[in-house]
Amino acid sequence: MKVHNTLATQTTRRVFATGAISVVAALALSACGGTASTAPSSEAAKQDLKAAGAGTITMWVDAERSPALKDITEKFKSDTGIEVKLVVKDFAAVRDDFITQVPTGQGPDLIVGPHDWIGKFVQNGVIAPVELGDKASQFQDSSIKAMTYNGAVYGVPYAIENIALLRNTSIVDSKANTLDEVVANGKKAVAEGKATFPFLVGMDPKQGDPYHLYPLQSSMGSQVFGKNADGGYDAKQLLIGDAAGVEFAKKLAAWGDAGEKIINSNITGDIAKEKFLAGESPYFLTGPWNVPDVQKKGIKFAVDELPTAGGEAAQPFIGVNGFFISAKSANALATNEFVTNYLTSESAQDSMYTAGGRPPALKASFEKAASDPVVEAFGKIGATGVPMPAIPEMSAVWADWGATELAIIKGQGDPAEAWTKMAASIKSKIGG
């Protein structure tokens, strides 16, 4: 029996240690489940920041932008004594994390993101409006428009991005205005053996790419949503299925795999970039994010205005990046101070530009950045654009829109029929 006993004691101790850890874990977990207490305080003015839980502001930011915010956060700290903690988050998951964590009180005070998140944020009640006052006029109109939702401004913009047409100037040396001219130039280059593809635009093999094709669509007079009185998109006016949209669908089929093969469903974004970098095409419909690689490759290029396929202006969707304040920020006043008085400053917007390379939203910073002709060209095109719809209904549009365009490009089914069916499907989702 003695062997048994000794064995038991030994193991019991070990088990005990593990038990202790597990209890700690269990308790820690249950502690997290509780709601944080907010100490009631209406006594005379408190003096100590840290005692009031106001010593820090937490901001969720992506890895690329985090270093650009260092200077301005340091300035804020030396001015006010409040530290801005930059928490680097994965961009793909940060929106949903923010929505789920804000109600628990564990979310940040601030988050960086594109303006089309606003709809989802408001729907879930997780962001607060920001009143910019007179400062709003210092920003480009399009950026403030994009940040406006239901008549209120929800974020401080810092960058605007949109697509343009990159042209390899050593293959085609002159600018063209319409898609027909672009295609003619491209085909000529192919016939002369200077290129393999007349025109490049990346297509997701599963979802197509309605974002990149939108300028063509808008130039034919087709839009997604109508606008209500205050200039915001109105989900009740779904315009995508109108006659202009159907015309666009027919054109898509003509450009697609079964037609002229200008838009090729097998060319993904990566393949399109690779082919343009290899000098195999004179045209590439893309955004500023691909410009650095094109420059690195030493390709001589120009940033052209978006080609029109119909009688109207080719309006790209513009995406505006900005800072949003949590609706449940425990440090709302300091956060507002930081957002409206520090992040709107020229130096902050300048350093965001240096880090991201996207045209700044602040006019003064943009003018400086526009000394770079690429930024200037993208900025000019952006000024003609329309904000990407931020209403939550838009997420019901993307999947159908992309899949239908892809099917039409592939030559599957009748384009007019597919387009009408898509509009009906979107309508039923938004309605229900």
Partner 1 sequence: MPKPDLHELPASTASTTRVQPPRAAAHQNAVHQNAARLNVRSGRRGPDSLKGTILKIVLLGLVDAFAVYVLMMLFLSQSWAALVVSSLVVLAINWIYLRKGGLPAKYLAPGVLFLLVFQVLVVFFSGYIAFTNYGDGHNSTKEDAIAAIQLTAQKRVPDSPAYKAAVLTKGGTFYLLFTDPSGKAQIGSTEEPLSEVSGAGKDSTGKANSLPGYETLKFQEIVANQQEILKITVPVSEDPADGTLRTADGSTAYQFKPALSYDAATDTFTDSETGKAYRDSGKGAFADANGETLATGWKIDVGMDNFARAFTDPSLRGPLLGVILWTFTFSVASVALTFAVGLFLAITFNREDLRGKKVYRILMILPYAFPAFLSGLVWSGILNPEFGWLNQTLLGGANIGWLTDPVLAKVSVLVVNVWLGFPYMFLVCTGALQSLPTEIDEAARMDGASPWRVFRSIKLPLLLVSVAPLLISSFAFNFNNFNVIYMLTGGGPRFADTDRDIGATDILITLVYKVAFGQGTGRDYGLASALAIIIFVIVATISAISFKQTKALEDVN
Does position 5 interact with partner 1 (CB under 8 A)? The reply is yes
Given 169, 268, 345, 420, the residue binding partner 1 (CB under 8 A) = 268
**159, 168, 191, 224, 293 from 122: Cα distances, Å:** 21, 43, 53, 21, 37
Q: Please report how close the Cβ of residue 418 comes to partner 1 at its closest, in angstroms.
A: 9
Give the closest residue to 208 by CA, choosing from 263, 265, 260: 265
Binding residue count for partner 1, defined by CB under 8 A: 98
Give the closest residue to 394 by CA, choosing from 151, 156, 211: 211
Given 321, 349, 365, 425, the residue binding partner 1 (CB under 8 A) = 425
- In b/e form, how buried is each residue of 328-360, taking b as 16+ CB within 10 angstroms? bbbbbebbbbbbbebbbbeebbbbbbebbbbbb
Residue numbers 12-41 binding partner 1 by CB under 8 A: 12-13, 15-31, 33-38, 41
- The answer to whether 121 and 94 are in contact (CB under 8 A) is no
Does position 44 interact with partner 1 (CB under 8 A)? The reply is yes
- Single out the segment in contact with partner 1 by CB under 8 A; choices: 213-221, 246-254, 327-335, 353-361: 327-335
Residue numbers 66-85 binding partner 1 by CB under 8 A: 80-82
The amino acid at 45: A
Given 65, 251, 328, 358, the residue binding partner 1 (CB under 8 A) = 328
Does position 123 interact with partner 1 (CB under 8 A)? The reply is yes
C-beta closer to partner 1: residue 271 or 313? 271
C-beta closer to partner 1: residue 27 or 184? 27
- The answer to whether 282 and 189 are in contact (CB under 8 A) is yes
C-beta closer to partner 1: residue 116 or 247? 116
Does position 420 interact with partner 1 (CB under 8 A)? The reply is no
Does position 392 interact with partner 1 (CB under 8 A)? The reply is yes
Given 206, 296, 298, 311, the residue binding partner 1 (CB under 8 A) = 206
Does position 341 interact with partner 1 (CB under 8 A)? The reply is yes
Given 74, 131, 173, 414, the residue binding partner 1 (CB under 8 A) = 131
C-beta closer to partner 1: residue 295 or 395? 395
Does position 152 interact with partner 1 (CB under 8 A)? The reply is yes
Q: Give the torsion sign (CA, 127, 133, 139, 143).
A: positive
Residues 98-117, mask of contacts with partner 1 (x by CB under 8 A): -xx-xx--------------
Given 337, 346, 372, 376, the residue binding partner 1 (CB under 8 A) = 337
Nearest-angstrom CA–CA distance, 323 and 143: 12
Does position 7 interact with partner 1 (CB under 8 A)? The reply is yes
C-beta closer to partner 1: residue 21 or 243? 21
The amino acid at 41: S
Q: Please report how close the Cβ of residue 232 comes to partner 1 at its closest, in angstroms.
A: 12
C-beta closer to partner 1: residue 271 or 355? 271
Given 303, 396, 409, 423, the residue binding partner 1 (CB under 8 A) = 396
Does position 169 interact with partner 1 (CB under 8 A)? The reply is no
Read off φ and ψ for residue 27, nearest 5 degrees.
Answer: -70, -40
C-beta closer to partner 1: residue 192 or 333? 333
Given 238, 267, 352, 375, the residue binding partner 1 (CB under 8 A) = 267
Nearest-angstrom CA–CA distance, 360 and 367: 9
Q: Please report how close the Cβ of residue 28 comes to partner 1 at its closest, in angstroms.
A: 7
Does position 126 interact with partner 1 (CB under 8 A)? The reply is yes
Does position 45 interact with partner 1 (CB under 8 A)? The reply is yes
Q: Please report how close the Cβ of residue 258 comes to partner 1 at its closest, in angstroms.
A: 12
Given 302, 327, 364, 370, the residue binding partner 1 (CB under 8 A) = 327
Does position 395 interact with partner 1 (CB under 8 A)? The reply is yes
Angle subtended at Cα 155 by Cα 93 and Cα 400, rounded to the nearest 5 degrees: 50
